[in-house]
A = this chain, B = another copy of it.
Amino acid sequence: MNEPAAGPNAGDRAARVLAGEPRAIARAMRMVDDRMPGHLELLKALWPHTGKAWVLGVTGNPGAGKSTLVDGLIASYRARGQRVGVVAVDPTSPYTGGAILGDRIRMSRHTTDDGVFIRSLATRGHLGGLSRSARDVVRILDAAGYGVVVVETVGVGQDELEITRTAHSTLVMMAPGMGDEVQATKAGILESADVFAVNKADRDGADGTVRDLELMIALGRETFRASSAARGHATHTAADGHRKPGESGAAGERWTPPIVKCVATRGEGIAELLAALDGHRAWIEGTAAGRARRAQRMGEEVREALREALIEAAVHDLGDQLDEAVQNVDARAVDPYTATEALVAAFRARR
């Protein structure tokens, strides 16, 4: 917000991002992350050059070995000749300020490779804004010619899963004995996971973790079918109801998340994981259900952007009126429901 109005215009900035200039890319990311003046113009100028990158979300609890595995994936994509962008989202406290993962030194072997661009995004506590920032940073990497963009988050909470919904494919990592079994039942993980990786598969309990996941996936499918049937919808999944999780779901109407066992530190399972992710990409691009999911995600983005744009405009336009409403509710002079209705009406009247 403290940016001077002078400087290159959106077209110039965009041209330098499209040319792949690292400093211009970093600068563009800072602009969208801080929502500086001109960031929307820049994003609009980049838009026609986006849509080529494949976006892979990776989530999993700390300790599952995620960074090592992501490191292996990056190396594999690089070996294929693809340029890789990494957006590392750290849900950190405003107090500790993004220090959890530090400089992500585990990825340091890629820092001298100009085919890899790594960017950290801290949450800074602004609710709802992180998915948007992640989407916009991904779009900059996409425009700059990174064919694969990895969005990596810490943990498997609701917030992290929201972020993975900005991706085309979501990889959820587990490890035996991490208490992931409990985490796995948390909101949204089944809906969000396109591929499961069970890392540290040489440890005791790995087969148990795989079985738990298989059971959860099977249960989810049953519940989904039951609830679809109850709502009177056709159940497209009956024909493939006996397909084992772990088999490719690309042929069917619905996608069944494969489960891939890995030992990331030894590079074991990375090739299989890559194949599973390629399978999911083929499903998204090659089936009606996959394309519908991609469109659905775009719908979520627009609605989320609309939600944020509305509240931003309302807070800006209402100004003191909003503060007064809060004071009145706090003083119990008015109830919050009536106050909210009045604010919505005032916002619409102010256009």
State how many angstroms separate the Cβ of A36 from the closest Cβ of chain B: 14
Q: How far, in whole Å, are A187 and B92 apart by their CA atoms in the complex?
A: 4
One of B188, B219, B311, B339 near A125 (C-beta < 8 A): B188
Using a CB-CB cutoff of 8 Å, which residues 214-244 of chain A contact chain B? 219-220, 223-224
Asked if A186 lies at the interface with its beta carbon under 8 angstroms from chain B, I say yes
Main secondary structure of the interface of A (DSSP, over half): helix
Partner of A337, one of B44, B179, B329: B44
Query: Which residues 170-213 of A sit at the B interface, judged by CB distance below 8 A?
Result: 178-179, 182, 185-191
Cα-based distance from A313 to B307 in the complex (angstroms): 11
Nearest CB of B to A52, in Å:
11
Q: Is A343 an interface residue (CB 8 A)?
A: yes
Query: Which of the four size classes fits the interface of chain A?
Result: 35 or more
Interchain nearest-CB distance for A348 vs B (Å): 4
User: Contact: B93 with A190, CB < 8 Å?
Assistant: yes
Q: Is the CB of B305 within 8 A of A336?
A: yes
Q: Report B-chain residues with C-beta under 8 Å of the C-beta of A162.
A: 127
Partner of A338 from B44, B94, B185 at Cβ < 8 Å = B44
Is A326 located at the chain interface by the 8 A CB criterion?
yes
A63 and B179 within 8 A (CB): yes
| B93 pairs with A189, CB closer than 8 A | yes
Report Cα–Cα, A62/B307, bound state, in Å: 33
| Cβ-defined contact, B307 with A187, below 8 A | no
Whole-angstrom distance between the alpha carbons of A197 and B107 in the complex? 37
Q: Does A299 contact B (CB under 8 A)?
A: yes
Give the 9 A-B CB pairs with smallest separation, nearest first: A157-B157, A47-B335, A158-B159, A348-B351, A95-B220, A310-B310, A299-B326, A91-B187, A307-B311
A/B interface sample: 21 pairs, CB < 8 A: A44-B335, A47-B335, A48-B332, A51-B332, A91-B186, A91-B187, A93-B185, A93-B220, A95-B219, A95-B220, A159-B159, A159-B187, A295-B330, A298-B336, A301-B329, A301-B336, A305-B336, A306-B311, A306-B343, A310-B347, A348-B351
**A residues at B contact (CB < 8 Å):** 40, 43-44, 47-48, 51, 62-63, 91-97, 100, 123, 125, 127, 154-155, 157-159, 162, 178-179, 182, 185-191, 219-220, 223-224, 294-295, 298-299, 301-303, 305-307, 309-311, 313-315, 322-323, 325-327, 329-330, 332, 335-341, 343-344, 347-349, 351
